[in-house]
Amino acid sequence: MPAVVAEAVRIPAFLRRSFSVHGQWEPAKQLVRELRLNTVCLEAKCPNLGECWSHGNVSFMILGSACTRSCGFCSVRTARPGGVDPGEPQRLAEAIARLKLQYAVVTSVARDDLPDEGAGHFAACIGAIRARSPQTQIEVLIPDFHVRPDCLERVVGAGPEVVSHNLETVERLTRLIRPQAGYRRSLEVLAALRRLGGEQLRVKSGLMVGLGERPEEVRKTMADLKGAGCDILTVGQYLRPTPEHLPVAEFLSPEAFERYRAWGQAMGFSFVASGSYVRSSYNAFEALQLERKR
C-alpha cells in the first residue's frame, strides 16, 4: 500500500471562505430533522453546506448513516449498519415535495451487508419521488454494487435522469484511498451504466485532487472515464474532514483546476465542473441544464 502523503501546512487564502446561510437554510434543516433523514451534506462535512441549503439544494443519503466500507477520505462512520427503513422512501419523497425541489440528489452509504447491496431501496426511493413530484429530476450517486448486473439494472430501470458513480482518484492511489473498492471495478460500473441506460441516461463521475496524484495521472484517469462512457465530470480539491483522515498533499491553484477543465472539454465530456469547492453533487441541477444546452 502506498505511504500516507504529507499534510500541507496551511490552507491558502484563495481557499478560505465564510460560512453564511440565508433563504431556505432553516426550513431545510428543520425538515430533514423532522422526517428523520440523513444528508451527505452533514455526514460528509461538505464545505458547500451553507450555500447549498440556503438555496434548498439538499443531497440526501439513504440506507442509514453507517457504512460498511472505510475510505480514507470520507467522514461517514464505518460500522455495522442496522436494518433498512421501509418508510424512508416515502419520507424522502415528502421532503422533496415540501422543499419543491426541481432536482433531487440521492446517494447512500455502501451496504455490502445486504443481499442486493441496497439497489432495491434506491429503486423504491426513485419510485416514491416520481409518484409525489413527477416534475422533479433525479440524480442518484451509487456505490459500485460489485458491478452486479441485477443491482445496476434495478437502479437504471427505475428511471433517474443521472446516475453517478465516483472514481474518486487515480489508479495508483486507489488502494490507499478506497481500500475496499477498485479502480477498474468502478470503470466497469460506469461502462455498464452507459450500456444499460443508452443515450437517454447521463452518466457522471467525480475526482478528488490534492492527495498526491500527478497531473499526467489525472489526464489518464479522465481519459479512462471518457472511454467508459462518462458524460459529466466533476473535479474538486480534497479537504481533510478530521485529523483521523488522509492528509492533504497539495492545495491546487485555480489555474490547475482550469487546466483540468480544459483537458476534460478537449476529451469530449459534455460538461466538466472543476474547482476547489466542486463536489459531485455541487450545483448538480445547473450542471445538467448547461450540459443539455451544449
Query: What pTM was computed for the model?
Result: 0.87
Which pLDDT score is estimated for 51?
54
One-letter amino acid of 169: T
Q: What is the pLDDT of residue 58?
A: 74
Reference 246, options 172, 178, 199; nearest CA is: 178
Residues contacting 2, CB < 8 A, separation 6+:
172, 173, 175, 176, 212
How many Cβ atoms sit within 10 Å of the Cβ of residue 35? 17
Given this model, what pLDDT does residue 108 score?
A: 95
Encode pLDDT of 63-86 as tens digits.
998 999 999 888 788 998 889 999
pLDDT digits (tens, 9 = 90+) for 180-225: 999 999 999 999 999 999 989 999 999 999 999 999 999 999 999 9
| CA dist., res. 165 & res. 277, Å (int) | 19
Q: Report the pLDDT value the prediction gives residue 65, as an integer from 0 to 100.
A: 87
Residue from 103, 89, 105 nearest 137 by CA: 103
60: nearest Cα among 26, 21, 28, 82 = 28
Q: DSSP class of residue 166?
A: -
Going by C-alpha positions, the residue among 249, 176, 243, 181 that lies closest to residue 209 is 249
Q: What pLDDT, on the 0 to 100 scale, is given for residue 291?
A: 57
Is 21-293 assigned to CATH 3.20.20.70? yes
pLDDT of residue 6: 44
| Sheet strands side by side (includes 59-62) | 38-39, 59-62, 103-108, 137-141, 162-164, 202-209, 232-237, 271-275
**What stretches in the chain show pLDDT beneath 70?**
1-10, 14-25, 40-57, 282-294
Task: Give domain limits for the chain.
Answer: 21-293
Radius of gyration of the chain (CA): 18
48 Cβ partners below 8 Å, 6+ apart? 41, 277, 279, 282
Distance CA 266, CA 258 (A): 12
pLDDT at residue number 28: 74
With residue 209 as reference, give the H or E element that holds it: strand 202-209
Among residues 147, 158, 186, which one has the least CA distance to residue 280? 186
